[in-house]
Structure 1
Amino acid sequence: MDKCFKVTYTRKSTPLSYGYHIAERFLSNQDEICDLGVSFDSSFSFIPHVDQLCASASRALGFVFRCSSEFEDWSILRNLYFALVVSKLEYAHLVWFPIYDCHLSRLERIHRRFFKYVVFKRTGRYPERGADLSDVMEELRISSLLDRHEEQCARFARGLLANRIDSPYLLSKMSFNVPRLAARLTPVFYLPTARTNISERSPVNRICKSADKLRVNVFG
């Protein structure tokens, strides 16, 4: 019973409140709960989760910097970064991936700190703010978090349609687009016009848009 709570998910400023109880014991109301490592807030913004994730990933990145100060093999440094930092940044990200760009930029800054550290290890000085790090990213074969997220969303859509991922509910939410005869490039999925950011960046919308954007053969 100590692990049971009541959460009301709504965007209203004055939500309806009702007392629930189990075995004559009322459940306490919470604005935020953690389930399988993901923090869900009552408005589904996932801002508390991003805050906690940025703090945790920054600490892990600092540990990588301290323990690799004498390393000269870039593959070891890359493996450490993926094992201790990227694994945090991408855990269950199809569920909580930021709705607003300001929160995504916070995660990307942690990502860029790693590439700046690599430049520092090579040249002895940190690159300036806003410096182009594409050469280092290409050499280490690491893309931005947004690009990696889109690639994984597209693979998720492919796995869902190939029945490698068992989720009938998500599958029922994916609608296919019927193209015109004269159309050259048409999206595979039909997505209604989103009226809010939450709808625009909902998990189903993201996996369908990523598959269309990357032109992934979801039926192969």
Structure 2
Amino acid sequence: MKIFANIEGTDNCAVLQNDLNTVVKWCQSNKMKLNVDKCSIISFTKKKNRITHSYTAQDTPLNRNTTVRDLGVLIDEQLTFRQHYEYIMKRSRRLLGFIFRSTKDFKNPRSMLSLFLSLVRSISEYCSPIWSPYYNVHIENIEKIQKKCLRYICYKYKFGRTLNNYSDRLSKFGIMSLQTRRARYDLLYLHKILHSSIDAPDLLSSLSINIRYRMRVPKVFTLSVYKNNTSFYSPLVRMCRSYNELVCGSKDTIVDVFNNKFSIYKKAVTDHFKPDVLSPHK
């Protein structure tokens, strides 16, 4: 369970503490034991003069953390997700090493690639619409995981002479780069929010649809001016901006997030990213 509030003063702190007391009282009334040691506080802010109120549960002060794990995603107080990047890269490299050691006798390169796609790539893109990186250093560091796997496969099965660069290897095995797959997931997630496939009414109400049709460069979603990168690259804003760029830049591919069924929309989005994959491996 998460209890949250917008804290702008001590009055807001008192309201949040009262909400916490209500939860504690409910647990006691229903004879549910609350493990206070596993409860923690985190404040999401970039302000230097932050409000650090001491909250309690069952008369015990709660620990204040700078990073929390929520459904497998590490979230820090400034929403940079840097610790999550380090976590998935460390875990992916460890699993990739396990695959290399366990597949020395494999004769089919596709078998090794299947292990990578199921065990490693799934980790490196889990919940990517939430934490998708926007700095090149993080994008490249995460991409190195797949680059290393394809480079090893090409060396092991003697494809190296004909597949000298990353794009050729992607084309050879018929897969997308991790960055492209994250962009594709963003657009698919936007469709699910708009059509309430995901129960997120707050996200749906945050979307601002442009009703000014007579524009030189039409944009489906209206975006504000953002003061920092955290807001500019926030998940919902990033998804809307990607869709605007897709609609404005694609003349041949029809991608309609409002009227197309998900299966049709998904195919159109995938076709848009197909130049990244030229010819699947046979």
Report whether the alignment pairs 1:75 with 2:114. no
Question: Is residue 88 of structure 2 the alignment partner of residue 56 of structure 1?
Answer: no
Residues in 1 aligned to 2:162 and 2:76: alpha-carbon distance in whole angstroms: 37
Larger mean Cα displacement after TM superposition, 104-113 or 65-74: 65-74
> Are 2:126 and 1:91 aligned?
yes
Out of 253, 257, 260, the position equivalent to 1:218 is: 257
Query: In structure 1, how many angstroms separate the alpha carbons of the residues matched to 2:81 and 2:165?
Result: 30
Equivalent position of 2:43 in the other structure = 8
Structure 2 residue identity aligned to 1:167: A
Q: Is the 8 A contact 1:32 1:41 kept in 2?
A: yes
1:119 to 154, 159, 181: 154
SS in 2 for 1:2: helix
Q: What is the letter of the counterpart of residue 137 of structure 1?
A: L
Bigger radius of gyration? 2
* Contact 1:54-1:107 at 8 Å conserved across structures: yes
Instruction: Give, in whole Å, the separation in 1 of the partners of 2:223 and 2:188.
Output: 18
- 1:170 has 2:203 as partner: yes
1:159–1:165 CA contact under 8 A, matched in 2: yes
Structure 2 counterpart of 1:43: 78
How far, CA to CA, are the matches of 1:97 and 1:146 in structure 2? Answer: 9
Q: In the alignment, does 2:186 pair up with 1:186? A: no
- 2:241 paired residue number: 209
What is aligned with 2:53?
18
Question: Which residue number corresponds to residue 8 of structure 2?
Answer: none
Alignment of 1:127-146 (within 5 A): 132-146=165-179
Q: Mark the runs of 5 or more structure 1 residues left unpaired by the alignment.
A: none
Given the superposition, is the C-alpha separation of residues 63 and 174 from structure 1 closer, same or farther in structure 2, using an over 3 Å criterion? same
Q: How many residues align?
A: 217
User: How high is the TM-score relative to the length of structure 2?
Assistant: 0.71
Deviation at 1:182, TM superposition (A): 6.1
Per-residue CA distance 1:59-96 (angstroms, 9 max, x = gap): 11111222222223233222211111111011111112
SS in 1 for 2:40: coil
What TM-score, normalized to structure 1?
A: 0.89
Instruction: Name the SS for the 2:63 alignment partner.
Output: coil
Supply the AA of the counterpart residue of 1:191: L
